[in-house]
Chains A and B, each alone.
Chain A
Amino acid sequence: MAAIPLRIDSVVKRFGEVTAVAGISLDVQDRTCLGLLGPNGAGKSTLIRSIAGRIRLDSGGIQVFGQPANSAAARAELGWAPQELALYPLLTCRENLEAFGQYQGLRGQALRTAIQWCLEWAALTDRADATVKSLSGGMRRRLNMAAGLIHRPRLVLLDEPTAGVDPQARNRIFEMVEALRTEGTTVIYTTHYMEEAERLCDRIAIVDHGRVIALGSKDELVAQSFGGRSDVLMHFAGTVQNGAEWAASRGGTVEQGVGHFSVDRPTDIAGLLDAAARDGLQVIDVTLRRPNLESVFLQLTGRDLRQ
């Protein structure tokens, strides 16, 4: 039986008094995309660096396709795009790819083919001979990803690849990740943007204080936290007298003139509307919304994801 791409077993890493990773265990199946979702300082990057073999663990172990992380065999199967722009700024795109390809042991035709693939994948063919310092932020991000994947690894670590890029450039990066997934590459994707995790990842591990506090698909995570309940947002006309008391009596809250309620079934909205009409409240708009990952994070930690 073939080894799975990634097995993380009870990993602990401390930096002095700070425990960055506090006993994380995860299995990542072939051809899937696992999102590590959590706020800054949650331990995502430390976990990624541990998988890349760049951190000496205090305890636990990591295996990449059955080989210990940092072994030569594991390195050959692993590609890593760090959060920082780990590029040579004075070299061109092609020269950067050539250097990192050679560091991965590529030579001759294999190297040339890999460089061409990277340039096309990152949509940088027309900027191949431009120096990194002359590229836009989004282009640099794409080149940063390509440099980590030039040896066409089967497992890819993308550490916040959209950090600091505009929405348009972010979409281009999403397309790159989706292209990887189409090819069957296994991807570990860290982010603190829930929409990225929702769009790209099959499974999501919510990380906080060095621990995985929830794991599953988006729907599973929402179901774990909220069951089948949905959010209802109710906008009232004019100033609502005693609105807070009214909402509280029906298990909701009012913030800035908007009532927030939770319902088991969408049809429960009718009961709320009837009650509002009975009590003289004029409702001008109602929204039914499924809880998202941010709601899950808020539910699990009591904090906002971007805090």
Chain B
Amino acid sequence: MIAVIVRTGFRALRRDRGAFLLAFILPIALFSIFAVVMGGMGSGGTARVSVLVVDEDGTAVSARLVRGLRREPSLAVSASPYTAATAEAAVKQGVAPAALIIPKGFGANPIAFGQGTDRQPIRILHDSSDPVAAQVVAGLLQKVVMTSLPDSMAGEGMKYFDQFSGGLTPRQRQDMESNLSKLRGLIEKRDRESNAPAADNGNNAGGLVAVDMRDVVGENKRSPMIAFSAAGIGVMFLLFTASTSAGSLLNEAECGALDRILSARVSMTTLLVGKMTYCTMLAFLQLTLMFLWGAAVFHLELFTHLPGFVVMTVATSFAVASFGMLLATVSGTRAQQAALSTLLILTMSAIGGSMFPRFAMPDAMKTVGLFTFNAWAIDGYTKVFWRDEPVSHLAPQLAVLIGAGMVLFLIARRFARKWEYQ
């Protein structure tokens, strides 16, 4: 009897394409995406951190440091066209998550073993929306210094030798012991202080090179990551909502209401535009509610960014509505539509940044992510809420979302011809 039940279950599953898709194809698709995102395709797929390097010092030492940074495989260095000011602006605009500025005078005294006070600190200007990038750049900077400036390290070592050994006479040995004891005291003191919470500006003056870190984008934000969450999660659920609401077309087709509507004074184009408007308005309300909740509970600065929010939300809502319409018109039945939409929406959300931040993805995956609404919507909301950019800077995101939405709608209209006549 149990065998009959099992066999019946498998037979039904085999003939239910939607359930089959969800049971086997979707898990494999998502597993593959996450494997790629997490770097599972080998070392070549590991994400590199983009950093803008500005060499204000212009000495041979700073030039060698820049060359060392460029050789570092984990960094993607862009150097030439930037000044400190333009690099800061570029970080604010999201061109790169960090800029490294080598100050004038750095080459004269680049390295100190311990708390040197006479050094010019290298400045790292960063965007804390990518919390990993700045730390990676700071850490790799110390490594590059060791590998790129060995002469400076040797010179510094000799200085310390002169300072602490004083020669090999008993007096010198006694002095060295005494000074080394002081150095050990300094190290112990530094170690003790390192247990304290890091300063907000992330200064890293205790390394070989002094580093002054500053969050140039989020330093004045009350809740830096809320806009990301609202946009990422919001767009993913918007896609589900649009898919469900556009799916009413399939319900109407299955129950005959679509036939009745089309036999009245309603054309298919009018019907689709009506459905599209409904889905767009529903998506707009959904996102607005989510951002209002974010403003009320998580201090999201909604009301100071209203124009950008409105245009991004209209464009995003339009795009997801058109996506929903396309899914509904492509699918033959509601079951097919449910399976297809689940597969596509979870995939788009995974590679588009709704589930996993795109800055941590390999470059190839970042590029693939640009084929999703999620990525463009998140980028747009980031510009509005995180970078405080004006509406005019949203042109690329708006163009892609609205343009793609229109294309998808036209394709949906083409597929909807199947319902016009039999």
Contact = CB atoms under 8 A, between A and B. Distances in A.
* A and B interact physically: yes
Interface of A: 15, 49, 52-56, 72, 75-76, 78, 80, 82-89, 100, 103-105, 147-148, 151
A84 B258 CA distance: 11
Nearest to B264: A103
A103 B265 contact: yes
B422 interface: yes
Nearest to A55: B422
Contact of B256 (A56, A86, A89, A105): A86
Interface residues of B, number: 14
B260 interface: yes
A86 B262 CA distance: 12
B265 A72 contact: yes
A54 B265 contact: no
Nearest to B263: A52
Nearest to A103: B264
B260 A75 contact: no
Contacts of A85: 255-256
A79 to B, nearest CB: 9
B261 interface: yes
B263 A76 contact: no
B196 interface: no
Contacts of A52: 259, 263
9 nearest CB pairs, A to B: A84-B256, A86-B256, A103-B264, A56-B421, A86-B257, A86-B260, A82-B256, A52-B263, A104-B264
B260 A82 contact: yes
Contacts of A49: 259, 422
B260 A100 contact: yes
A103 B261 contact: yes
Nearest to B261: A103
7 contacts: A49-B259, A49-B422, A53-B263, A54-B421, A55-B421, A78-B263, A87-B255
Contacts of A83: 256
A54 B257 contact: no
B422 to A, nearest CB: 5
B265 A76 contact: yes
A15 B255 CA distance: 20
Contacts of A76: 265
B262 A105 contact: no
B297 interface: no
A244 to B, nearest CB: 47
Interface in B249-277: 252, 255-257, 259-266
Given A54-B422, A72-B265, A103-B266, A87 B259 contact: no
Nearest to A84: B256
Q: Which of A54, A104, A147 has the most CB of B within 10 A?
A: A54
A125 B137 CA distance: 74
B264 A86 contact: no
Nearest to A56: B421
A27 B265 CA distance: 25
A73 B256 CA distance: 22
Given A49-B422, A55-B421, A75 B264 contact: yes
Contacts of B252: 86
Contacts of B262: 54
Contact of A80 (B255, B260, B266, B422): B260
A56 B264 contact: no
A75 B259 CA distance: 12
Given A49-B259, A82-B256, A85-B255, A56 B265 contact: no
Contacts of B256: 82-86
Contacts of A100: 260-261, 264
A115 to B, nearest CB: 15
Contacts of A148: 260
A80 B263 contact: yes
Interface string B289-328: 0000000000000000000000000000000000000000
A52 to B, nearest CB: 5
Nearest to B257: A86
B417 to A, nearest CB: 11
A54 B263 contact: yes
Given A80-B263, A86-B257, 4 more contacts: A75-B263, A89-B255, A103-B260, A103-B265
Contacts of B266: 103
A189 B28 CA distance: 53
B259 A104 contact: no
B263 A147 contact: no
Contacts of B264: 75, 100, 103-105, 151
Contacts of A78: 263
